[in-house]
Amino acid sequence: MYIGIDVGGTSTDAVLLSNGRVQATAKVYNTPNNLLSDLVQALDTLMKGVTADEIERVVLSTTVITNLIAERKNDPVGLLLMPGPGCKLQLYKKPNVHLLSGTIDYKGREITPVVEEEIIAAIDDFDSKGIDKVAIVGKFSPRNNRHELQVADIVTKLKPNWQVEMGHRDGGKLNFPRRVATTLFTCATKEKYQSFVYSVQQALRQRHINAQVFILKADGGTMPLESSIQSPVETIFSGPAASTLGAQALTPAGETSLVIDIGGTTTDLALILSGQPLLSSKGVMLDDQFTQVRALAVKSVPVGGDSIVEAVGKELIIYSERMGKPYCLGGPLPTPTDALNVMGLTKLGDIDKSWAAMEVLSQQTQRSPVEVARNIIDLFVDTVVTEIENMYLEWEQEPAYRIWEVMQSRKMRTKNVVGVGGGAMGFVPQIAIKIGGIPIISPYATAANAIGAAVAKPTMQVTLRADTEQKVYSIEEYGYQGKIEATPFGRDQALNLAKKWLLDRAAAIDIGDQIQEIEVTRQDVFNIVRDMQTTGRIYDVCVQTVRGIQWHVDAGGRLI
């Protein structure tokens, strides 16, 4: 049996799955600073009549780190950057940032060395400010980490107790500003994340659960809780990933679907293409900065069931903010949820109050309450439909760098329209009709997040770049850089090396048995030519475990 737990901002949702069936669900409203007891309470609700040793796996999704950063409760971090020549980014003109000498080029060749005195001066500065966490990031460090290691060495020698993070370890993709942000957030959240992990482990231990524990990542994959301590930022925005996977579990395998998650404040849109959730081409944005965290492509529309509705003249307007609960649940203003109540599409809270809310708007706009409710729903549906169309267009517009990618035309509209979240029942059928799709809403639509966490499979990816001219290779995901030993080293050797890395890493974190198949997602070869002679080759290879979910709940039955 599998347990999925979604630790949200206001509540903790949990689900117990057995052979693709939902055995039990739990919802616990969070008590401040007492995650441990909330978790224990949720587990107790789930496990009535179930023994601890029947649990095979526990998967969590959490917004703990996202909220820490959003509320700026993270620890102060000193930044040591080696940006070299290139863009001047205003971003780095901040206190606690020191720009150091040391330049590496795109091939990983050193252009200018680091200067020790600068590093010592920076350490003194941090010391005087009481900063004991340092993030070190150099431009092109994924191609050559030598400078970062040198700087880290000096810091550790002088301040053995400081926490030090290096860019090449935290984000191996080429994108210096995103790598800076990722490393910074890792550094700033590690300590607090450890206490979250500790609470989870405590709760499970108290209920004698010895199953493997995983945490959901923003890209819909999972990683073992233990190893997630090294990269807490990977857990950010796992909420939207959980609901997308949940929707995937609630639809038939291999199909193409549009997922609409209607929450209180926002409506999140996602795409599942031939059974695979679409990944975003950009990294997750955190605190107005892009990071290197891979995420599912989720588009957030700023309207939800609790958005406020007002009359301006005779026009109705849905505002993107939330002022509290819907009127029917004691909130201050009319909301789309109230409109659904009046139209008889939902039965939430005090229906008379919903009528009263429409009554107010009805007087201002000189229309009947039913007409007002109808208008609000239409407005809501139109807003979402417009954004759906935009999302498709954006997807069609994704950059492509190879001929085959451009030539295969990207034009597709999904049939399945899967609704999850609180407002799904009322709105999704109407949205589906507008865009010519089939609405699918499971009875478990409101528990989709926890289900998504429960069914998520561990995923791993290895990106190898080998340069036979310089006889070096690097592994993007682990910041590893090594020498090419094999001769000759060709396409096959590059691919095998990448696969070996993938399997070794899987074994190291004890999920080797769960990797059945490896997919090659990219395989590029570039000739390096000097004076009309081929002097080497660059291999760019990306392999990953086949992405997917463990189960389809209720066989993905179409229930409405």
Binding site for another protein (CB under 8 A): 85-89, 103, 105-107, 111, 139-140, 173-178, 282, 290, 396-404, 406-407, 524, 526-529, 532-534, 538
For another protein, the closer CB: 520 or 555: 520
Q: How many CB atoms sit inside 10 A of residue 500's CB?
A: 13
CB closer to another protein out of 178 and 367: 178
Q: How far is the CB of 61 from another protein (least distance, A)?
A: 26
Minimal distance, residue 273 CB to another protein, in Å: 17
Nearest to 14 by CA among 266, 242, 237, 262: 242
Comparing CB distances to another protein, the nearer of 406 and 433 is 406
Residue nearer to another protein on the CB measure, 319 or 526: 526
DSSP 479: T
Q: Residue 60 CB, nearest distance to another protein (Å)? A: 30
Closest separation between CB of residue 149 and another protein, Å? 19
**DSSP per-residue letters across 416-453:** EEEEESTTHHHHHHHHHHHTT-EEE--TTGGGHHHHHH
Put the strands of the sheet holding 78-82 in their side by side order: 97-99, 78-82, 133-138, 163-166
State in angstroms the smallest separation of the CB of 105 from another protein: 6
Nearest by Cα to 236 from 216, 222, 259:
216
Q: Are 109 and 229 in contact (CB under 8 A)?
A: no
Dist CA 50 CA 54 (whole Å): 7
Torsions phi, psi of 98, nearest 5? -120, 130
Q: Which is nearer to another protein, 98 or 178 (CB)?
A: 178
Nearer Cβ to another protein (495/528): 528
What DSSP letter does each residue of 173-201 carry, written as one string? SS-HHHHHHHHHHHHHHHHHHHHHHHHHH
Measured between alpha carbons, how far is 98 from 483 in angstroms, rounded to an integer?
A: 32
- Least distance to another protein from the beta carbon of 263, Å? 27
Question: In whole angstroms, how close is the CB of 3 to another protein at the nearest point?
Answer: 38
Any long-range contacts for 342-345 (C-beta under 8 Å, 24+ apart)?
Answer: 342/369, 342/370, 342/373, 343/370, 343/373, 343/374, 343/377, 343/426, 345/377, 345/425, 345/426
CB of 384 to another protein, least distance (A): 24
Residue with smaller CB distance to another protein, 186 or 375 = 186
Other C-beta atoms closer than 10 Å to the C-beta of 533 total 9
Specify the residue, 320 or 534, whose C-beta has the smaller distance to another protein. Answer: 534
